[in-house]
Amino acid sequence: MHALISRRPVLSFVRTLALGAGLGLAALTGCDSGTSPSNANAGKAAPSGTTTSAAAAPAAAGDIVIGHYGSLTGSKATFGLSTDNGIKLAVEEVNKAGGLEIGGQKHKVVLKSEDTEGKQEKAGTVVTKLITADKVVAVLGEVASGITLAGAPIAQQFGVPMITPSSTNPQCTAVGDMIFRVCFIDPFQGYACAKFAAQDLKVKKAAILFDQAAPYSVGLKDEFESNFKKMGGEIVAIEAYTEGEANFNPLLTKIRERGAELLFIPGYYTDVANIALQARKLGMKMPLLGGDGWDSSDLAKNGGAAIEGSFYSNHYASDQPTPEIQNFVTKYQAAFGETPDGLAALGYDAARLLFDSMQRARSSDGSKVRDAIATTKDFKGVTGTISINEKRDAVKPAVIVEMKGGKPVFRARVEP
């Protein structure tokens, strides 16, 4: 046990050192390119895989600087990277059109991305840095609700508007009047899953396997359980795992003995592929159902045939034939060479909603932009039409997708 105890402080100490070095480097490159005349076009470079703040173009006077904090490295890096790509695409579009027009003047938009490494304790530091050092006018992020809850109070305290693209826990926007979101919330997602299971799949007996350490997973489990029971279904087993588990056999064996027709797994994609593979090996053939935590191209890559025929609720389906979605998918594929997942779409929507609000506010001043975001109505986003309600949450439908041929395919739509 000494190992565990002695390891942590050293770990964070070394990280702090590394961070310090990173910041120093960022500052150096910032000064350096600020004095060189050749950097006028830096912001117009094509979006690339680089994600550190050192790589972002320095802001000139009159530029609008926005910040993004996300898990660009760490175990759920696809979440942060996808969101970052979505935001980059939106920024790129605005800059290609000559900049964001606010009150008759065009301003170039500069994006500063900071890495949370998927850790709650880093959120405060990076949001403070974005606001105080980079002087951002608005903050976008995080994906995981737990990290958003750590970053939001800082934005609130500095009076900088913040939009989380994809944190679904209801608490996130309750932090203060500066905090918004463009995604639906967990109670609705749990309801959507339960409704789909009970009324579309006509399942009577369901089992739940959830991550007991993730607020997201626990919240979804509670909502699914109560809604599914209300709709006349029966929950025959509830088992809990902790993120990082490799052997799910004991839990799955218990579930198998109870004759469930559906297994609800409100976890993250990092664990779901393993659960699916092990369940199939145990001879369990029932469909699996999950939430937007499943949404990653890695799910099908790692789960293979085991994940086929399973369902999850999501913010959008890339195969829906609406022009907004198809336009976005084509542009995203051209820029990044892959099909955008729901998080990329939400990142794109969050950035565009922010730009739209700035234009409506005719200012980039924090409180004016805040008021404009709060009064957003029927904003046409990729992930549906977004209206912001009095709780600063987005009201919008959820989509249920089915895994078919290694791709999520639109299956049903659940209205709020």
Partner 1 sequence: MPGDSSPREELAKLSARPVSKGHSPCPRFLPTPAYRVDTLLQTLKDGLTIGSLYALIALGYTMVYGILKFINFAHSDIVVLGGWLSLITATAIVEKLGLTPGQIPPWWVGPLVLLIAMVACGIIGFTIERLAYKPLRRAPRLNVLITAIGVSLFLQNTGQLQFVFGTRPRAIPQLLSDQTLLQIGNVHIRLLDLVVIGTAVVLMVGLEWLVFHTKLGRAMRAVSFDVRTAGLMGIPVDRVISITFVIGSSLAAAGGFLWALSFTSIKQPADTSWVLLGLKAFVAAVVGGIGNVRGAMFGGLAIGMLEVFGQQYINPALKDVYVFAALIVVLLVKPGGILGKATVEKV
Q: Return the number of the residue (6 or 327) whose C-beta is nearest partner 1.
A: 6
Report which DSSP code applies to 307: G
Minimum distance, C-beta of residue 14 to partner 1, in the bound complex (Å): 6
Q: Does 141 bind partner 1 (CB under 8 A)?
A: no
Between CA 245 and CA 380 the distance in angstroms is 40
Stretch of 67-75, 124-132, 354-362, 375-383 contacting partner 1, by CB under 8 A: 67-75
Neighbours of 120 (CB within 10 A): 15
Stretch of 157-165, 296-304, 358-366, 367-375 contacting partner 1, by CB under 8 A: 296-304
Which residue in the set 30, 47, 74, 187 belongs to the binding site for partner 1 (CB under 8 A)? 74
Two structure tokens written together for 180? 């918004």
Q: Does 153 bind partner 1 (CB under 8 A)?
A: no
Q: Does 251 bind partner 1 (CB under 8 A)?
A: yes
Contact present, 345 and 408 (Cβ < 8 Å)? no
Which residue in the set 37, 104, 283, 323 belongs to the binding site for partner 1 (CB under 8 A)? 283
| CA triple 182-224-189, angle to 5 deg | 15
Q: Does 142 bind partner 1 (CB under 8 A)?
A: no
Contact present, 56 and 110 (Cβ < 8 Å)? yes
Q: Return the number of the residue (167 or 278) whose C-beta is nearest partner 1.
A: 278
Residue count (the chain) = 416
Q: Return the number of the residue (23 or 236) whose C-beta is nearest partner 1.
A: 236
Minimum distance, C-beta of residue 42 to partner 1, in the bound complex (Å): 22
| CA triple 305-188-115, angle to 5 deg | 70
Q: Return the number of the residue (211 or 349) whose C-beta is nearest partner 1.
A: 211
Q: Does 30 bind partner 1 (CB under 8 A)?
A: no
Residue list 191-250, contact with partner 1 (CB under 8 A):
212, 229, 234-247, 249-250
Between CA 325 and CA 345 the distance in angstroms is 9
**Contact track, partner 1, 78-117, x by CB under 8 A:** x---------------------------------------
Between CA 149 and CA 143 the distance in angstroms is 10
Minimum distance, C-beta of residue 325 to partner 1, in the bound complex (Å): 25
**Contact track, partner 1, 301-340, x by CB under 8 A:** xxxxx-----------------------------------
Between CA 358 and CA 336 the distance in angstroms is 27
Q: Does 359 bind partner 1 (CB under 8 A)?
A: no
Which residue in the set 16, 36, 48, 75 belongs to the binding site for partner 1 (CB under 8 A)? 75
Stretch of 70-78, 174-182, 315-323, 353-361 contacting partner 1, by CB under 8 A: 70-78
Contact present, 180 and 217 (Cβ < 8 Å)? no
First-last CA distance in the chain: 49
Pick from 388, 322, 409: which is nearest to 185 by CA? 388
Task: Map tokens 């703040």 to a residue.
Answer: 53
DSSP notation for 62-122: TPEEEEEEE-SSSTTHHHHHHHHHHHHHHHHHHHHTTSEEETTEEE-EEEEEEE-TT-HHH
Minimum distance, C-beta of residue 167 to partner 1, in the bound complex (Å): 20
Binding stretches for partner 1 (CB under 8 A): 1, 3-4, 6-7, 10-11, 14, 49, 73-75, 77-78, 212, 229, 234-247, 249-251, 253-254, 256-257, 269-270, 273-274, 277-278, 281-283, 298, 301-305
